[in-house]
Amino acid sequence: MTTQETRKRSTAVVRPDEERPLGDIGARVRAGVAAWTRSPALDFYALIAIGTILVCLGLVMVLSSSAVINIAKGESGYAGLFRQGRFALIGLAGLLVAAILPPSWYKRLAWPALMLGVLLQLLVFSPLGWEVYGNRNWIVVGGQTLQPSEMLKLALAVWLGALLAVKRPLLSRPFHLIVPLVPVVMLSLGLVVLGHDLGTMLVMAMLVAGSMWVAGVPRRWFALVAGVGTIGVIALTVTSANRMRRISSWLHGTCEGATCDQSNIGLQALAEGGWWGKGLGQSAQKWGRLPAAQDDFIFAIIGEELGLIGTLSVVAVFALLALVLFRMITRIDDAFVQITIGGISAWLLGQALVNMMVVTGLLPVLGVPLPFISSGGSALVASMMALGILLSFARHEPGAKEAISARIGSVRTSLTVMPASQSERSARPRRPSALSRLLARLPGRGRSGSPAGAAAHRTRAGRSATPRPTKSTSRSAGSAAAPRSSRRTSRRSGGRR
């Protein structure tokens, strides 16, 4: 074989690790992502991540947007954070309980939950009721304001899922569709409308529409309901001077006093934020200029402090939530679970969309908070409990329980084989250093050196340093060994005889 052929073969045959030292990282990443997206537990972990991101962002932005107002009132700058954090802990407890309960329990709790929600909403018209900006939609209990309509949303979503799942094969018949759906829905929405809260009523209407759409209600009924609903909204708007001013200002783009200052200042905050924002806590509009900066218009503060990138990130998180909920509906075969997810999706995502459209000027001011982010204890607790119900449904997806158990088992296994602690490492015998080995070879050290030096060297080398026997110990050892030697001598002499 010639030298040229040998060179050709040597250049042609290249080991994979020489050609790509890091291996095919792209293929590994693609395979890992594909395996993760096919995992039955993906929805469960994605919901946890999304909820954590939104709630933590809400706590940070509530602190940033309310600190100035609280200080002006003589309170601590952290008062808003403490209030919202307290409700977040209550919501976390409700989330855990809701996530533990199986879906079958919610079918049993549908009617009791609806009755409790309606009863709480009726308390708005009792002496416990409290009116804010013309809306009577709160109650005061022990000095704390609560919004019963938020719990009514959650109860209505579960009740619609249980009802429409049973009537799903009969939805083409008008009687089975109307009774008891229409009376209960009209009662729930009517109680909210009587409190003059048009924004909450629109969100509840979207919840009902989402549940009916997933249940498979014929489209002609949607057209009828949409027509009746439009007439009702127009009638409610015409009969309220406050709503007429808001809609007139929104349509004509003109301000009369403070009727549209809130919307204009919100747009100004978004514009001043630019691409990257002024920085967290650096908003200028929250200094008393923008009403409800920590409530309905917190999205404007996000845009001013975190810029367009921050607002688009919030939109992306809600879009990811929509994808996860759509994936759950397509993967689960239980009609009750599908319809309930549809109602909760229309509630949370529709409310977020309405809030963002109001802040950006695409809709008139409706007084709708941003889910998980805006300040408000009742809204946060209800949203987190809804997330807990979604986690319960995700945990019961096909194969999800096994995947979650396997993941928890792998984490426990990895924790049992954790590396040794620092104290355990220090207790292990150490290898002698180069300096100690060099000193041991010097004359007068080591093997020919002093006993103490040799003992110290053996100790550093990891061997037990046994001290040399003293004179007393050697004498006792010699006296003990003397009888033995005499016995051996006598035995030998006896054997010779």
Helices (H) then strands (E): counts for the chain: 21, 3
CB 135 within 8 A of CB 367: yes
Structural domain boundaries, residue 127: 39-401
Structure confidence at residue 259 (pLDDT): 52
CB 387 within 8 A of CB 51: yes
- Tokens 């291996």 belong to residue: 23
Q: What pLDDT, on a 0 to 100 scale, did the predictor assign at position 474?
A: 46
Residue 78 DSSP class? T
Alpha helices in 361-470 (DSSP H): 377-395, 400-416, 422-427, 434-441, 451-460
Most confident of 179-183, 416-420, 445-449, 479-483: 179-183
Tokens of 224: 């009828």
In the prediction, which pLDDT does 221 show? 86
Please name the residue ranges forming H helices in 101-180.
Answer: 103-122, 148-167, 174-178
- Rounded CA-CA distance 180/118 in Å is 15
With CA atoms as reference, report the closest residue to 361 among 319, 432, 299: 299
For the chain, what percent of residues have pLDDT higher than 90? 51
Identify the sign of the CA torsion 56, 58, 62, 65.
positive
Give dist(CA 343, CA 154) in Å, integer. Answer: 9
DSSP secondary structure letter of residue 295: T
Angle in degrees, CA 128, 130, 133, rounded to 5? 170
The answer to whether residue 69 is domain-embedded is yes
**For the ranges 2-6, 24-28, 70-74, the one whose mean pLDDT is highest:** 70-74
- The sign of the torsion formed by the CA atoms of 425, 428, 433, 436 equals positive
Tokens read off for 294? 């920590």
The answer to the question of residue 450 being in a domain is no
In the predicted structure, residue 444 carries a pLDDT above the cut 60? no
Specify if 322 maps to a domain.
Answer: yes
Question: What is the structure's pLDDT at 183?
Answer: 93
The answer to whether residue 19 is domain-embedded is no
> What pLDDT is stored for residue 426 in this prediction?
55
The mean pLDDT value for 441-453 works out to: 52
- 342-396 pLDDT, tens per residue? 999 999 999 999 999 999 989 888 889 999 999 999 999 999 999 999 999 999 9
Confidence of residue 59 (pLDDT cuts 50, 70, 90): very high
Residue 23 belongs to some domain of the structure: no
Q: Is residue 230 part of a domain?
A: yes
Q: What is the mean pLDDT of the chain?
A: 81
Q: In the chain, what percentage of residues exceed pLDDT 70?
A: 74
Whole-angstrom Cα distance, residue 249 to residue 162? 42
State residue 38's pLDDT score: 76
Asked whether the predicted pLDDT for residue 473 surpasses 50, the reply is no
Residue 192 in any domain: the answer is yes
Nearest in space to 264 (alpha carbons), one of 310, 313, 297: 297
In a domain, 104, yes or no: yes
- Amino acid letter for position 278: K
R_g (Cα) of the chain, nearest Å: 37
pLDDT band per the 50, 70, 90 thresholds, residue 17: very low
Residue 491 has pLDDT above 60, yes or no: no
State which of 27-36, 39-48, 381-390, 449-458 shows the largest mean pLDDT: 381-390
pLDDT of residue 446: 47
For residues 178 and 313, the answer to whether their CB atoms sit within 8 Å is no
CB atoms within 10 A of CB 283: 27
Q: What is the pTM of this model?
A: 0.77
Angle at Cα 194 formed by Cα 192 and Cα 198, nearest 5°? 55
Quick count: other Cβ atoms within 10 Å of Cβ 237?
15
Give the pLDDT of residue 244.
76
Q: Domain count of the chain?
A: 1
Under the banding of pLDDT at 50, 70 and 90, the label for residue 495 is: very low
CA distance 105 to 382: 18
pLDDT at 20: 52
Q: How far apart are CA 51 and CA 139, in angstroms?
A: 27
The alpha carbon torsion through 111, 117, 118, 124 (nearest 10 deg) reads: 170
Give yes or no for residue 428 having a pLDDT over 70.
no
CA 269 to CA 277: how far, in whole Å? 10
| pLDDT at position 250 | 74
CA distance 332 to 396: 9
- How far is the C-alpha of 372 from the C-alpha of 59, rounded, in Å? 9
Residues 283, 304: contact at Cβ < 8 Å? yes
Token digits for 233? 């909204």
Whole-angstrom Cα distance, residue 208 to residue 219? 14
DSSP run (H or E) holding 186: helix 181-194
pLDDT at 318 over 80: yes
In this prediction, residue 436 carries a pLDDT of 67
Question: Of 152-156, 269-273, 364-368, 392-396, which range is least confident?
Answer: 364-368
Does residue 422 have a pLDDT over 80? no
CA distance 289 to 291: 6
Enumerate the β-bridge partners of residue 173: none
Pick the more confident residue, 176 or 258: 176
**pLDDT score of 245 more than 80:** no
